[in-house]
Structure 1
Amino acid sequence: MAFMFNLGNLIKSYKRLPFCGSSCRTSNTYRFIFEHGKKFSDNLSFFNQKRNFVHPSKPHFIPSTLVSELNENSNAKIKPISDHLRKHAKPISDEAFGYYLAGLIEANGRISNDKLKLTFDEKDHSLAYFIKKRVGYGKVISDDSVTYLLEHPQGLKAMLTLTNGKFLTSNFIDQLLNNEYDQKYEVSILPPADFNIQQNHFLAGFCDLAGYFSIIISDDTSDLEVKLCFLIRTNLPQQKDPTIFQKVQSEFGGSIYLDDETGIYHYEASSFQTNLKTVAYFDQFHLNSTRFVDYFKWRKAYRVIQRGEHHNQKGLAKLTKLKGSMVHKYESSV
């Protein structure tokens, strides 16, 4: 009877959780299992087993594995943040811009024998031109997307000088070495760095191409719940290295997932504790793409919740409007 009782609680808990178009609901279900797991099962290897999740818009199942979860108090109360966000500022110094550019490149950079290519969203022309101006070389190509193309030798050397020692994985470093950039530009290419991801612009650069901010409102009017999700995901092969996601998780909390079909990792977090750390970081190190607009709206949603306005129809209307106006809609593959 005890087993049936706890299984029933698990099912009820799952039904009360909002579907977020991602694995946020799953993450919270795992958290419930962790809290009640001793009664349900003594086998904690459950957390490393594969689970099949289904998106309502997709009729087939796509397997995804919960790789790592940093447990937090899901019942913790929201802590207040300032109503004011300081004036937007780009990374100006060589040190700051170098970390930011390294983050962009780690998210979506391609290097070949004589060129660097960065691909942006079609709405992010201004960011591509900012990179061009700051590096001093290159060109911006507009098509279905926006591409920054750097081919000038002096520009490639400037890029290498700015970012050397600021990459967290060996993905781009290997590309540089395979194309003999160390010999061409007489620069000793440094190995992957190990720094606190909260203390520089690297994550801002990475998330300008791979970050998502989601406002989740449950459909269950009898047990309404609102959550804010911060997600990091790309579909690029270089994200088969979990290092960056592990860095984020160690400082922010949250969960890391592995797409079993592509072998690509992604990161998701939705607790108020993680939300607070996310705000603290992006308030200091600003995004520079249209994702800054999404973050600004997501931050406004946090303030609506901290004032308790989500408990009335007017507040819910505000949240629904903010959610609908997001530039980048995150569509989960699981």
Structure 2
Amino acid sequence: KIISLLILQYAGKSIKIFNYSIQYPKLLKGYRNIVKKLNIWDNQQETKVYWNKDIWVGSSETIRNNKSIYFLERISPHIPKHKKLLNDTELGYYLAGLIDGNGNIDKEIGRITIYYDIKDISSAYMLKEMIGYGSILKIKNGVKYVISNNEGILRVITLVNGKLKLKYNQVIENVLTKNQLVNYKWNEIEFKKGDIKDFNNYWLTGFIDSNGSFQIKILNKLGQKLPEIKLKLQISEVPTRTSYGVENREILEEIRKFIININNDKIITVRGGGINIGIRKHILDSGETSLSYYWETSSFRTIKNVICYLNKYPLQSSYKYINYLYLYKAYLLVQNKEHLSIEGVEKIKKYKKNMR
């Protein structure tokens, strides 16, 4: 079968057509080769690729009309500054992401707990200062931020109203049906669930701060002069289901779609579009097994989209932000093709070594 590729380099200018003969058993491999050829076709003109029946079409005019940040702009060489949350709306979305990721609302007394790595203790105190209630307690390998008084619980629930995507039912069943908030007239306020497809806010930042990690992989392969460089965001230890039986893979799929299509254009992708969702088995101290999902980027294109998002909605975790900056610097080297030189690889190795 012959697949034709038609590339519109600039509107009204030259048209390039490529033909590829692909045997059916090698169809997916052929698609990947096509994408690779398109990516290296012209280092100066970055072109978006669409699947349209029998042809892939790339159009710079389409991108300009849509004001895309996806394949249109190069990532700025200026390292982004660490920006704090500005208001209760931003705080509410961020807090909802934290609770959905690594928080809990106690079913006995409605106590709200958010867990932190010990390296991130400063972020716990920052959140406590912004909310105005609660206490920080040390636990094994970390700390927990606990809010147990009625005023503090009401403050948090007010902030996350309409923003929680996964643990909405914990609020309904563990807090709103309890008597401790009756005196605060909470029963007169309608608590709403967050839109599972809305990520144009700080929710995903909070989710990444709770369960995310930034990784630089340097893979040496036999017969190759230079190692393969991989830049990853991984979100791990996401339970397969909530305590209420809600399937959590759905939220990971929606995050995948959002990151892949961050410019709001519909693109058909091969093998998940550069993002993998997998499942891991954990052996508990009791000997029982537990399953959890992980979500990770697997291409430079998708890590670029993550950077685009986080430049708009910056991380609040202090140590994860530092790791993100090293990944950001590594991506700049990749963007300039410096990872294809020995000097560039050595720089990336230093960035990896400095990550916490």
In structure 2, the CA distance between the partners of 1:200 and 1:38, relative to structure 1 (3 Å rule), is same
In structure 1, the residue corresponding to 2:124 is in which secondary structure?
helix
Q: For 1:154-198, what per-residue CA distance to the aligned partner results, in whole angstroms no more than 9, with x for missing partners?
A: 1100100000110122xx22212222425633232213424431x
Distance in 1 (CA, whole Å) between partners of 2:94 and 2:303 is: 22
1:307 equivalent to 2:336? Answer yes
In structure 2, the residue corresponding to 1:300 is in which secondary structure?
helix
Q: For 1:218-264, what per-residue CA distance to the aligned partner results, in whole angstroms no more than 9, with x for missing partners?
A: 21163332121221112546565113211211022312223366332
In structure 1, the residue corresponding to 2:291 is in which secondary structure?
coil
In structure 2, the residue corresponding to 1:81 is in which secondary structure?
coil
**Range 146-155 or range 249-258, more displaced:** 249-258
- Name which one, 1 or 2, has greater alpha-carbon Rg: 2
Conserved in 1, the CA contact under 8 Å of 2:238 and 2:294?
no
Shift of 1:283: 1.1
Conserved in 1, the CA contact under 8 Å of 2:104 and 2:113?
yes
Distance in 2 (CA, whole Å) between partners of 1:251 and 1:152 is: 37
Name 2:174's counterpart in structure 1. 179
User: Paired residue for 1:96, among 73, 80, 90?
Assistant: 90
1:131 equivalent to 2:127? Answer yes
Q: For 1:7-61, what per-residue CA distance to the aligned partner results, in whole angstroms no more than 9, with x for missing partners?
A: xxxxxxxxxxxxxxxxxxxxxxxxxxxx9883259xx9xxxxxxxxxxxxxxxxx
Name 1:212's counterpart in structure 2. 213
Conserved in 1, the CA contact under 8 Å of 2:276 and 2:298?
no
Distance in 2 (CA, whole Å) between partners of 1:37 and 1:115 is: 60
Distance in 1 (CA, whole Å) between partners of 2:335 and 2:177 is: 51
Name 2:291's counterpart in structure 1. 263
Conserved in 2, the CA contact under 8 Å of 1:132 and 1:148?
yes
In structure 2, the CA distance between the partners of 1:306 and 1:188, relative to structure 1 (3 Å rule), is same
1:196 equivalent to 2:191? Answer no
Distance in 1 (CA, whole Å) between partners of 2:193 and 2:170 is: 12
User: Paired residue for 2:235, among 213, 232, 235?
Assistant: 232
User: Paired residue for 1:244, among 246, 251, 254?
Assistant: 251
1:1-334 map, 5 Å: 38-39=24-25, 73=35, 76=39, 80-112=74-106, 113-143=109-139, 144-169=141-166, 172-181=167-176, 184=181, 185-186=186-187, 187-197=189-199, 199-220=200-221, 222-223=223-224, 224-234=227-237, 236=239, 238=241, 241-253=248-260, 254-259=275-280, 262-289=290-317, 290-327=319-356
Q: Given residue 162 of structure 1, which amino acid in structure 2 is its aligned partner?
A: L
Distance in 2 (CA, whole Å) between partners of 1:286 and 1:236 is: 25
In structure 2, the residue corresponding to 1:104 is in which secondary structure?
helix
In structure 2, the residue corresponding to 1:88 is in which secondary structure?
coil
Shift of 1:316: 1.1
Shift of 1:270: 2.0
Conserved in 2, the CA contact under 8 Å of 1:115 and 1:149?
yes
Conserved in 2, the CA contact under 8 Å of 1:211 and 1:230?
yes
In structure 2, the CA distance between the partners of 1:300 and 1:117, relative to structure 1 (3 Å rule), is same
Distance in 2 (CA, whole Å) between partners of 1:196 and 1:265 is: 21
Distance in 2 (CA, whole Å) between partners of 1:251 and 1:73 is: 20
Is the strand fraction higher in 1 or 2? 2
Unaligned runs of 5+ residues in structure 1 are 1-34, 45-71, 328-334
Conserved in 2, the CA contact under 8 Å of 1:168 and 1:243?
no
Distance in 1 (CA, whole Å) between partners of 2:165 and 2:154 is: 20
Distance in 2 (CA, whole Å) between partners of 1:36 and 1:151 is: 63
Conserved in 2, the CA contact under 8 Å of 1:168 and 1:193?
yes
Task: With the length of structure 2 as denominator, give the TM-score of the two structures.
Answer: 0.67
Distance in 2 (CA, whole Å) between partners of 1:282 and 1:306 is: 17
Is the helix fraction higher in 1 or 2? 1
Distance in 2 (CA, whole Å) between partners of 1:38 and 1:101 is: 48
Shift of 1:125: 1.4
- Count how many residue pairs are aligned between Structure 1 and Structure 2: 261
